[in-house]
Each structure stands twice: as C-alpha cells, then as structure tokens.
C-alpha cells in the first residue's frame, strides 16, 4: 500500500512528482480551494483562470493536469474537482474530500510521490483526505504478477503501479489529533484494501481452506485468537447449513472464529460474514452471464475479517469477534437438492427450495453459534440478495435490524463514514411465506419483498434478547463499471468502514 506522511512544507517547495490542489464549482466558474494558496501564488494568482481556460469546472471527481510554473519543486499540478463550493464559513464535507483525494490518487498511478494540498481544516478532514488517497491508490496486483512486483524497470508495470507515497500537507505532524487521524486512516485503508484483494482473488486461488489460513496468519501477526472448524468438526457440531451448502464442492467448508479482546473492554460486538468463495447456485444453477463475478460472494466475510483486524490494530476498548462462514456452492452428485431438509446449528430445520439461496443457510449457522456467546450486539454482512440491488441500486446497501434504534445508529454511522446505506423494514407478515410442511420453515418465500424476507429468515437464528442488524451489501460489494472517487473496479471493501466505526462507537459507550 502507498506510504503516508504528514508534512508542514509548502506545496510550492516540497519535492514530489505532482502537487494535488482542490478546485470547487463556483457561481462564476472554478474556485481554487483552501490549501492551494502557495500554488495559486506561483501562478500569479491566476490558477482558477488557467483551469477555466483548460475546461475545468470544479465538478466532483474532475481532474486536470497542468505543468507547474517556475519556482515550484514539483513539475506537475493536478487540480481535482470538489463539487459545489460550500457556503461562506462552511467547510467541504468529508466525503467530498475523500472522493476528491481518491480521484487524484487514481489519476497519478505510476507516480512515486504526490503532495496533497486539499482543504484540511481539522483532524477529521485530514483523516478523510488520507483515507481517500490511500483507497484511491489501490490496485489489485495478482500474486503471480512478477513484472509489477519485482521488475521496477518494466515501464508498463510502473505505469500501472499505484501511487507510491502520499504526503498530506497541512497535516500538522506534531498535533496529536492530526497524527492519530492519519494513523487511523492508514490502518483502516490497509485492512480495507486487504478485503478488496480477497474479493478480487480468482476462486481457484481462494477457497474456504485458504481463506481460513489467511485468517490464521493474521491472527499470529496481530495477536488474535483464531479457531477453525473443518468439515469434520462442522459435521460433528451439527452445522447443517454450512455443510449443506458446501457438500457439493471438492473444497470443503470452514467456520472461522477470529477474536480480538481488550483487557478493559465493557462491551462485546460479534460480526458475522457470508463467505461463499464461489457461488454457482448449486443445483439451482445460475443462468449464463451471472456466474462470472461470483467470486465476490465472500465479500461479507472479507469485510468482517478486515474490521476485526482493524479493531485490533487500533487497540479499541471493545471485544470484537468475527465469524467467517466459508463454503463453495457447487453442483455435483453430492450437492444439496431442492427439497432437501437441513438441520441447522441449534436444531431448527429448513427446507431448501432453492440452492442459490445459500448465503442465509451458512449465516444461520454462524448467527446461532455467535449468539451462544451472548454478545451485546451482532451485525451480519452479506452479498445476500439480488432483490436488494433492484431496490437500492449498485451503490447502496440495505440495513435491517430487530431494534429500530440500532438500525438507525448503523445507518447513520454508514452515512458518516461515506458509505451509502438505507434503513429497510422487516415486515412480520412476510414470515408466513416461508412456512413449510416438512420443516420449521423454508429458505425461500414469495418473490415480492424477497430481500426483506431474507432478513426475516436470518432473524430466526439470532439469540433471544440480542440486538442484531443485517447489512445486505449485494449492490456495492463489487463494482463492475469504471472507477470513481476512491472506488476501484472490482472488490470495493463495502461495509468495512461502517463496521470499524461501529466498533469505535461501541468502545466509547455511544451505543448504550
């Protein structure tokens, strides 16, 4: 990942490949944002006019490169659009800063060092710029990409390499708050990018066993307690949902518990992630054109994994336990059939009407097991339903919960950290649609409201009296269009920042 430094140097005198400045959309044309005063001075106060002549408007995500004037150490100035200029005495929103920094970092791929002179008025703003730049600089580098990793003289590899060093100007290195914000941004970005790597890995490189091994390696590195239940332990323990989904594959399933504890913690947060490392749909095979991106069906488990490691590295005063429900959903002679009845962990039985509704089966087992430890709250994260994508689009995840106040808190936290989310209901009348003549209930119901019905299914496995929320990240977990802001093509790391901030709020006692 790109290196991050804080600097008090002037944007005009710092040696770098490029200096990044912000430009906003004003009523009469582009307006140079705060932080770029030294650069504007080098342009004799005419930077805005030059940018306007080049067609820049200050629109969100717009980037304009221009040669730096004499007197500047950097040869290039990159102006990045921040969107509409804020009202007088108001500051740019953190998400606007985050996205602008990400757009700039992407535009400077292949550069060694860039200085970011964006408007940083306080530590939180500095953290937003740092986070956006580090996330925007992300580039998935396959393990076998020797040219990109080893041959620094390879011009093609260097051009595609992410920005190597990010210098944040105006960050006040001696100020503890600014330093802490930068350090937090670096940790969260690194772990979020780790989640992106996992989502982007080909399914033949990441199966349940290798995912579990990745968690074990992180446990050793960061002092986390990791327990892995293999197929024998799952069978013996009665994890019928995970075993039922995974039994059609040659790569057997796993349930991973990864735990971080703080000696002074007063609260415990359990995170549960759907980890289908490849989803063919099983016997209910997905139609042509719907299989190619199904390596991303473990994005929920990747988000949970990244959040637990982040909590540990940040030293948060809260206990955080991650449950990774890992399986590969494949059709074969041993696969679960539509019509089969599975006995889930805890004893409830489920009639499987559609083997492509498998995520709720592995999550059901994990939720029941997590409930046994009686945490203060449980949050599950899953690329669960296409219905949620139809309802909310590709950039917004749905938030459901058994407690209205907790649902509101999770939604507000997501909005605060820049993740688009929307609160969704769990209508009680939909439960009847899952009635089964041969089991306690079925894994499918009526088509209308099926994204909500999936949440109602999961609710059945949450322990009595435990506060719970469900995040359906099916839309934003994997981005197939052109990159924007700090969001790359491919795995996005959706929900990681929400989970980390939720852990921080729990540690601070802000959630009751």
Which residue numbers are catalytic?
286, 360
Helix (H) or strand (E) holding 188: helix 176-200
Determine the Cα–Cα distance for residues 511 and 462; give it in Å rounded to an integer.
Answer: 19
Please say whether the beta carbons of 120 and 129 come within 8 A: yes
Neighbours of 55 (CB within 10 A): 9
Please say whether the beta carbons of 26 and 85 come within 8 A: yes
Beta strands in 219-360 (DSSP E): 225-229, 254-260, 268-279, 319-329, 341-343, 349-351
Q: Residue 266 to residues 108, 312, 316, 446, 506: CA-CA distances in angstroms?
A: 44, 15, 11, 42, 9
Q: Which residues contact 384 (CB under 8 A, 6 or more apart)?
A: 274, 300, 359, 360, 363, 451, 454, 470, 472, 474
| Helices assigned H by DSSP within 228-278 | 231-237, 240-246
Determine the Cα–Cα distance for residues 41 and 331; give it in Å rounded to an integer.
Answer: 66
Determine the Cα–Cα distance for residues 283 and 274; give it in Å rounded to an integer.
Answer: 19
The torsion of the CA quartet 193, 194, 197, 198, rounded to 10 degrees, works out to: -140
Q: In what order do the strands lie in the sheet with 225-229?
A: 225-229, 254-260, 319-329, 268-279, 377-382, 467-472, 397-401, 421-423
Determine the Cα–Cα distance for residues 493 and 189; give it in Å rounded to an integer.
Answer: 9
Percentages helix, strand, coil for the chain (3-state, rounded to 5) are: 35, 20, 40
Helix (H) or strand (E) holding 470: strand 467-472
Please say whether the beta carbons of 477 and 199 come within 8 A: yes
What would the DSSP string read from start to end of 88-109? TT----HHHHHHHHHHHHHHTT
Beta strands in 302-428 (DSSP E): 319-329, 341-343, 349-351, 377-382, 397-401, 421-423
Please say whether the beta carbons of 282 and 222 come within 8 A: no
């Amino acid at each position: 990942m790109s290196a991050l430094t804080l600097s008090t140097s002037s944007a005009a005198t710092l040696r770098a490949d490029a200096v990044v400045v912000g430009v906003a959309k004003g009523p009469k044309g582009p307006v140079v944002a705060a932080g770029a005063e030294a650069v504007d001075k080098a342009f004799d106060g005419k930077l805005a006019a030059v940018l306007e002549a080049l067609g820049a408007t200050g629109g969100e995500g717009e980037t304009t490169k221009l040669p730096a004037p004499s007197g500047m150490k950097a040869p290039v100035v990159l102006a990045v659009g921040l969107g509409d200029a804020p009202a007088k005495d108001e500051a740019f929103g953190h998400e606007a800063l985050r996205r602008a920094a990400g757009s700039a970092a992407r535009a400077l791929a292949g550069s060694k060092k860039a200085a970011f002179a964006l408007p940083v008025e306080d530590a939180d703003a500095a953290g937003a710029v740092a986070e956006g730049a580090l996330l925007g600089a992300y580039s998935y580098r396959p393990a076998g990409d020797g040219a990109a990793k080893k041959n620094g003289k390879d011009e093609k590899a260097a051009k595609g390499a992410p920005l190597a060093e990010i210098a944040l100007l105006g960050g006040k290195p001696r100020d503890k708050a600014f330093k802490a914000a930068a350090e937090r941004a670096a940790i969260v970005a690194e772990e979020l990018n780790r989640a992106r790597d996992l989502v982007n890995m080909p399914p033949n490189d990441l199966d349940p066993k290798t995912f579990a091994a990745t968690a074990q390696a992180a446990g050793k590195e960061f002092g986390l307690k990791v327990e892995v239940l293999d197929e024998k332990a799952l069978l013996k323990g009665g994890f019928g949902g995970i075993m039922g989904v995974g039994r059609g594959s040659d790569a057997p399933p796993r349930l991973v518990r990864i735990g971080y504890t703080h000696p002074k913690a007063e609260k415990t947060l359990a995170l549960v992630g759907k980890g289908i490392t490849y989803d063919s749909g099983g016997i209910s095979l997905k139609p042509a054109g719907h299989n190619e991106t199904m390596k991303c069906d473990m994005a929920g488990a990747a988000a949970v994994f990244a959040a637990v490691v982040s909590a540990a590295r940040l030293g948060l005063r809260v206990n955080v336990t991650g449950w990774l429900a890992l399986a590969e959903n494949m059709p074969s002679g041993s696969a679960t059939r539509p019509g089969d009845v599975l006995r889930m962990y805890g004893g409830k039985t489920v009639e499987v009407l559609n083997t492509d509704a498998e995520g709720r089966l592995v999550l059901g087992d994990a939720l029941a097991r997590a409930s046994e430890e009686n945490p203060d709250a449980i949050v599950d994260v899953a690329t669960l339903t296409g219905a949620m994508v139809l309802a909310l689009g590709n950039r917004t995840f749905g938030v459901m919960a058994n407690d209205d106040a907790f649902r509101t808190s999770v939604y507000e936290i997501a909005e605060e950290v820049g993740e688009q989310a929307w609160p969704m209901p769990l209508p009680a009348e939909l439960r009847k649609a899952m009635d089964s003549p041969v089991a306690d209930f079925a894994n499918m119901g009526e088509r209308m409201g099926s994204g909500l019905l999936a949440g109602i299914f999961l609710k059945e496995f949450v322990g009595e009296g435990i506060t719970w929320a469900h995040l359906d990240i099916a839309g934003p977990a994997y981005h197939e269009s052109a990159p924007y802001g700090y969001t790359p093509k491919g795995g996005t790391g959706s929900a990681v920042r929400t989970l980390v901030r939720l852990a921080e709020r729990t540690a601070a006692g802000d959630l009751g």
